[in-house]
């Protein structure tokens, strides 16, 4: 036992450096004004418009116990009528175009739309597929884009922090 304690004392603390945190997403003036109206918290409704579920796994991580986006004032809600923001993943398929539009219209003003992942931003690997209508910005106006395939939970939390102002 003493030998083990000596070895621990001689080695000291050994840990890898913490990963760099992405900066909070820079918001354009119109989106920043909407974010100020949300008053420090944002209720988020997630819409899967046709993704491969990679982004959904990262959203679950972002709201899980490690990254805990709720501590910054972001909360997932079940109804678009309770939401302040839509987080849309995946390219918009032909079958989801009208559903996404109706969900967008159900969210009360001021509303913010976040295109999460490369597929939501520009159709990603699904560009040109027969069932794909287009990117999220082709169907509803997008305020914030988060790049990545899939984006890391840190980037999702940073974008949500930008919306909550924390």
56: domain CATH number is: 3.40.50.12280
Residue 64 is assigned to a structural domain of this protein? yes
Residue 155 is assigned to a structural domain of this protein? yes
Buried b (16+ CB within 10 A) or exposed e, 14-37: eeeeeeeebebbebeeebeebbee
Angle value at C-alpha 58, between 52 and 60, nearest 5 degrees = 105
pLDDT tens digits, 105-117? 999 988 999 999 9
Local confidence band at 8 (pLDDT 50, 70, 90 cut-offs): confident
Phi and psi at residue 87, in whole multiples of 5°?
-110, 115
Domain count, the chain: 1
Residue 38 is assigned to a structural domain of this protein? yes
Residue 139 is assigned to a structural domain of this protein? yes
Residue 158 is assigned to a structural domain of this protein? yes
Residue 6 is assigned to a structural domain of this protein? no
Instruction: Quote the pLDDT of residue 60.
Output: 95
Q: Are 41 and 165 contacting, i.e. CB atoms less than 8 angstroms apart?
A: no
What is the percentage of the chain residues whose pLDDT exceeds 70? 87
* Sequence-ordered strand ranges (E) for the chain: 42-48, 74-76, 85-89, 92-93, 112-116, 132-134, 144-146
Q: Are 148 and 22 contacting, i.e. CB atoms less than 8 angstroms apart?
A: no
Residue 108 is assigned to a structural domain of this protein? yes
Residue 80 is assigned to a structural domain of this protein? yes
Question: Which domain range does residue 81 map to?
Answer: 27-164
Question: How many CA atoms lie less than 13 Å away from 159 in the CB half-sphere?
Answer: 25
96-107: average pLDDT: 95
Local confidence band at 23 (pLDDT 50, 70, 90 cut-offs): very low
130-149: average pLDDT: 93
């Amino acid at each position: 036992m003493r030998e083990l304690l000596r070895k621990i004392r001689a080695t000291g603390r050994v840990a890898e450096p913490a990963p760099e945190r992405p900066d909070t997403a820079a918001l354009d003036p119109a989106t920043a004004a909407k974010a100020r109206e949300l008053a420090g918290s944002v209720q988020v409704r997630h819409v899967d418009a046709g993704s491969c579920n990679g982004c959904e796994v990262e959203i679950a991580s972002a709201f899980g116990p490690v990254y805990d986006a709720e501590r910054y004032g972001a909360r997932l809600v079940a109804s678009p009528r309770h939401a302040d923001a839509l987080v849309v993943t995946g390219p918009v398929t032909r079958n989801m175009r009208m559903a996404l539009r109706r969900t967008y219209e159900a969210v009360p003003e001021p509303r913010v739309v976040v295109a999460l992942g490369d597929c939501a931003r520009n159709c990603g690997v699904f560009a040109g597929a027969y069932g794909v209508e287009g990117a999220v910005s082709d169907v509803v106006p997008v305020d914030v884009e988060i790049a990545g395939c899939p984006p890391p939970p840190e980037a999702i939390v940073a974008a949500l922090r930008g919306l909550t102002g924390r």
